[in-house]
Structure 1
Amino acid sequence: MPETFILASTSPFRRDMLESAGLQFATAKPEIDERAVEAGIEGSGLALEDIATILAEAKAIEVSERHPGRLVIGCDQTLSLDGEVLHKPEDMEAARRRLLALSGKTHELHSAVVAARDGAAVWRHVSTARMTVRKLDPAFVGRHLAKVGARALSSVGAYQVEGEGVQLFDRIEGSHFTIVGLPLLPLLAFLRQEGVIDG
């Protein structure tokens, strides 16, 4: 089966999710500065989930401009806690502080997916999951991070619920695909509607 679209992401989690669904696609790393995009919309009053959509769209459009005629799928995920958007921790100490900040609280993950062709968005979708972290003992956080290592730095929340990170939670409300960072079922419905994959 030929490649049907380009995934504007190098995330192994998103790639594995799409491959597991039986899709054939290429990947391309988007050449954008995410923090610069966010700085341009800071103070705009946008809903926090809209920031994820804007970032996903920027990625999809940038890659689509380099691949004329191709359908490009861009994704992004933001985490909001007490009305503030958080980013991936830069090091293990930042990951430790992140988990302690999430301890005993509910945060939201906003996962957006955007399809673009020839520099224009043709479809958008965003899903939200609510994640309640149990009260975490600092010593447990240290042991947990020592066990999972640098994998903690690949996620905005410093956890992976598909692995040992699930032990951090009391309650999870939302789709597994949203939590991992790609609303897969809405994307598959769009690809069927467009005739990109069989219906």
Structure 2
Amino acid sequence: MKKSLILASGSPRRKELLTQLGYDFSIVQTDVEEKQSSVETPAEYVKRLSKDKALFSRDKHPSSLSLGCDTIVVFDDKVLEKPRNFSDSKQMLMTLSNQSHQVITAVTIASNGLVETVAVTTKVWFKTLSEQEIEQYWLTGEPQDKAGSYGIQGVGGRFVTRIEGSYHAVVGLPLYETDQLLKKHL
């Protein structure tokens, strides 16, 4: 019997990307605290979050295959979370200005007796940003719910000079790796 697929994420970007892959799925909003412990590396942290989200969904729907995801932005081995306010956003974007950083997206699938996680790291380079550009960007509303305070798929894409790795992982769901996981277990 084929299992039903559940996306354990309320992200419209992940919904769009999973739809692009051609899968039928339902969505479950998760309630997972996103707080890095002092002993976790950024990669361990993002993998744990994706796993916690998949397990949360699996526990609610044990006969389904749950897909949990999380994306973080890392600069100088420090995780840049979603900004709390404009000041926080400005500080993050000034940090990323004229620098490269990493975006790590982890994807976990979970069902009874199965938990498998993959993580994809992409290197992203930013142009030099002015304070005026940052303020104008904040006013678009886009950076307010994004890790690292930007979205590559939206207005924030104008700051990116190049990437090395998976564009879709930066958006929030690495298509190739997700498809491989799902083909293996659906």
1:6–1:25 CA contact under 8 A, matched in 2: yes
Residue 133 of structure 1: which of 95, 102, 126 is its match?
126
> What RMSD in Å do the two structures reach over aligned CA positions?
1.8
TM-score, normalising length from structure 1? 0.86
1:114–1:121 CA contact under 8 A, matched in 2: no
2:82–2:147 CA contact under 8 A, matched in 1: yes
The offset of 1:142, in angstroms, is 1.7
Letter in 2 for 1:187: T
d(CA) in 2 for partners of 1:140 and 1:72?
39
**In the alignment, is residue 145 of structure 1 matched against residue 145 of structure 2?**
no
d(CA) in 2 for partners of 1:163 and 1:66?
33
d(CA) in 2 for partners of 1:135 and 1:63?
41
Residue 60 of structure 1: which of 54, 59, 63 is its match?
54
1:127–1:183 CA contact under 8 A, matched in 2: yes
d(CA) in 2 for partners of 1:34 and 1:101?
22
d(CA) in 2 for partners of 1:22 and 1:189?
13
d(CA) in 2 for partners of 1:34 and 1:47?
14
The offset of 1:71, in angstroms, is 0.6
**Equivalent residues, number:** 185
Partner of 1:34: 34
- Which structure 2 residues correspond to residues 1-199 of structure 1 after superposition, within 5 A? 4-35=4-35, 38-39=36-37, 42=38, 44=39, 46-118=40-112, 121-146=114-139, 149-194=140-185, 196=186
SS of alignment partner, residue 105 of structure 2? strand
Letter in 1 for 2:144: L
Unaligned runs of 5+ residues in structure 2 are none
d(CA) in 2 for partners of 1:151 and 1:167?
13
The offset of 1:121, in angstroms, is 4.6
Unaligned runs of 5+ residues in structure 1 are none
The offset of 1:97, in angstroms, is 2.0
Using the aligned pairs only, state the percent identity.
27
d(CA) in 2 for partners of 1:91 and 1:134?
22
TM-score, normalising length from structure 2? 0.91
d(CA) in 2 for partners of 1:180 and 1:31?
21
